[in-house]
Amino acid sequence: RKEVEQDPGPFNVPEGATVAFNCTYSNSASQSFFWYRQDCRKEPKLLMSVYSSGNEDGRFTAQLNRASQYISLLIRDSKLSDSATYLCVVNKAAGNQGGKLIFGQGTELSVKP
Amino acid sequence: DGGITQSPKYLFRKEGQNVTLSCEQNLNHDAMYWYRQDPGQGLRLIYYSQIVNDFQKGDIAEGYSVSREKKESFPLTVTSAQKNPTAFYLCASSRTGGGYNEQFFGPGTRLTVL
């Protein structure tokens, strides 16, 4: 089993659609969770940190379910500019290994006019 | 402006040559990381350093070497022992300590072995 697994893509959606990405992680000791966005041939950029209570930033909502070891990202009212690959990222463990992040393989989103 | 810089952006190397990729940050972060990304794949950790003069191997360290003589700098050398070095190389940095320590990335170096 991969340490971080994401929905296989690509997701092709029309502008204005709501799209949800799912991610599962295998290490129950993980304590930090993130969603990054990566545009084609560019570096990943932090989109959101994911907190236990869930958090929202404009059109983006992230949820964490520790019991199920599951993370989600919801994008409402999709824009053309949301087209990118979305990376689910989990820290490896607590303690001095906690800085190490494990990246999912990414889910590609394409928003069409 | 605070950030992470990598140079060069594109690098071409002949087989059998060593090459060094530069990574500099002015975010005052203690930790720095090197990743490799191949087409259609996720990021894989090569080396990381949580403090000056100390570094650890990541998941795919073979054929690579690093140094951390200054807090701001974490150069990566791709040696001739690396069997398949053509890839997109990304450097990142983060704070250390408790809590969420997001990693911030430089723009990357695309290495092509001819």
Strands A44-50 and B4-7: unpaired
- Our CA-based measurement puts residue A109 at a distance from the nearest CA of chain B, in whole angstroms, of 14
**CB-based contact B23:B39 (threshold 8 Å):** no
pLDDT 10s digits, B6-58? 999 999 999 889 999 999 999 999 999 999 999 878 899 999 999 999 999 99
Say whether pLDDT at A1 is over 80. no
- Would you call B38 helix, strand, or coil by DSSP? coil
Q: Which of B73, B63, B89 is nearest to B29 (CA)?
A: B73
The reply to whether residue B42 touches residue A49, judged by beta carbons under 8 angstroms, is no
Strands B104-105 and A19-25: unpaired
- Our CA-based measurement puts residue A58 at a distance from the nearest CA of chain B, in whole angstroms, of 20
What is the rounded CA–CA span in Å between residue B111 and residue B35?
13
Tokens linked to A98: 């906690």
DSSP state of B89: E
Q: Which residues of chain B lie closer than 8 angstroms to A87, CB-CB? A: 42-43
pLDDT of residue A37: 97
Sole residue written with tokens 């191997």: B57
Q: Which residues contact A84 (CB under 8 A, 6 or more apart)?
A: A37, A38, A39, A40, A108, A109
The reply to whether residue B58 touches residue A43, judged by beta carbons under 8 angstroms, is no
- Angle, vertex CA B33, rays to CA B30 and CA B37, nearest 5: 160
- Our CA-based measurement puts residue A17 at a distance from the nearest CA of chain B, in whole angstroms, of 25
Q: What is the mean pLDDT of residues B69-75?
A: 97
The reply to whether residue A99 touches residue B102, judged by beta carbons under 8 angstroms, is no
